[in-house]
Amino acid sequence: MPARWLSALTAVCLLAACEPLDTEEGLRHRAQAWLFLGETRAFAAGRDCAVARVDLISPAMRERGGPLPVSSVREAIPHLQAGTTIAFVVPGATPNQVSEQLMSAHLFEGLGMLSTFVGPGRRCMDDVFAAQAYTALMDTQTLMIFDPKNYVMVLLYRPIPTAFVIRTKGG
């Protein structure tokens, strides 16, 4: 009897390790609090990441219940440390430049944010998704939202308008 219990327990543990980090509905639910979402164009998930490309009905953020807008990296640091979801509204800066500035000002917070995109998050991206998200990351018209509690990054790419939603277990 104990051998069967051990086998059953092992099977449950293995299945849990294979569970995806999030579902399409779960990822949409997180982003829906901040943005006006349309149709999901791409979704992929693994045990330590989930990504989606979602059309936007409007390129604006939700004012009520949306992320806290910050206009500088220095302004963002205490909010990130407090676990507040923020939107970087830094005119003339790409999300990549904002990430670099954040790493220069406060390495831990900057690495946590950047690792969402280039670490586990990258493993869930196919080549097309990665190329499109990279384009958004390098564009000054892209607004970046980051939820440090749940390791969710959103690149709100206004020229299309679309959102790249990336969630990981963390750095």
In a domain, 90, yes or no: yes
CA–CA dist 164, 73 (Å, integer): 21
pLDDT recorded at residue 107: 65
In a domain, 3, yes or no: no
Please count the structural domains in the chain.
1
In a domain, 15, yes or no: no
* Domain membership of residue 155 as a residue range: 21-168
Give DSSP secondary structure letters for 6-53. Answer: HHHHHHHHHHHHHS-S--HHHHHHHHHTTEEEEEEEEEEEETTEEEEE
In a domain, 156, yes or no: yes
- Give, as one character, the DSSP assignment of residue 148: T
pLDDT recorded at residue 117: 64
pLDDT recorded at residue 10: 39
pLDDT recorded at residue 51: 93
In a domain, 1, yes or no: no
In a domain, 11, yes or no: no
pLDDT recorded at residue 62: 87
pLDDT recorded at residue 118: 66
In a domain, 87, yes or no: yes
CA–CA dist 167, 157 (Å, integer): 17
In a domain, 62, yes or no: yes
Low-confidence ranges of the chain (pLDDT < 50): 1, 5-17
